[in-house]
């Protein structure tokens, strides 16, 4: 079954990428470490709920295979490597790798 996924990035949460899968049962959001997506471009990675690995699809195109596990089930998906790299490059322009930081004062204030 084919479906659409939306990748989003918020510089205020610079370590995370949200991937929202738009499936018939409704939207399923997953938060993934940006560094994990980057690593998944080149090598198998991830433990537990999210695992990634580079692969080649049935049309011979480079893809990153994503495998998501939850108590409700399992979702396997793939994203074209070029499209993922293009998205990640835009996130790197917003917040360069290694320059991520979190405003702890704002985070604590929001929890009050």
pLDDT of residue 3: 78
How high does pLDDT run on average in the chain?
A: 90
**pLDDT digits over 57-86, tens only?**
999 999 999 999 888 888 889 999 999 999
Residue ranges of the chain whose pLDDT lies below 70: 1, 106-107
pLDDT of residue 107: 63
d(CA 17, CA 36): 10
pTM over 0.75: yes
What domains are there in the chain, each with its CATH number? Answer: 4-111 (2.30.31.20)
Backbone dihedral region for residue 26 (phi beyond 0: left; psi -120 to 50: alpha; all else: beta): left
Would you say 78 and 64 are in contact if contact means Cβ atoms under 8 Å apart? Answer: yes
d(CA 4, CA 22): 5
Residues written for the chain: 112
């Amino acid at each position: 079954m084919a479906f659409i996924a939306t990748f989003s990035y918020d510089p205020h949460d610079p370590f995370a990428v949200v991937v929202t899968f738009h499936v018939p049962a409704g939207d399923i959001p997953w938060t993934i470490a940006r560094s994990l997506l980057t690593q998944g471009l080149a090598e198998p990675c991830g433990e537990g709920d999210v695992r990634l690995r580079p692969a080649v699809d049935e049309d011979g195109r480079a893809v990153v295979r994503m495998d998501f596990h939850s108590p409700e089930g399992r979702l396997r998906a793939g994203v074209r490597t070029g499209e993922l790299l293009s998205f990640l490059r835009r996130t790197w322009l917003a917040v360069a790798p290694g320059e991520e930081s979190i405003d702890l004062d704002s985070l604590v204030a929001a929890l009050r």
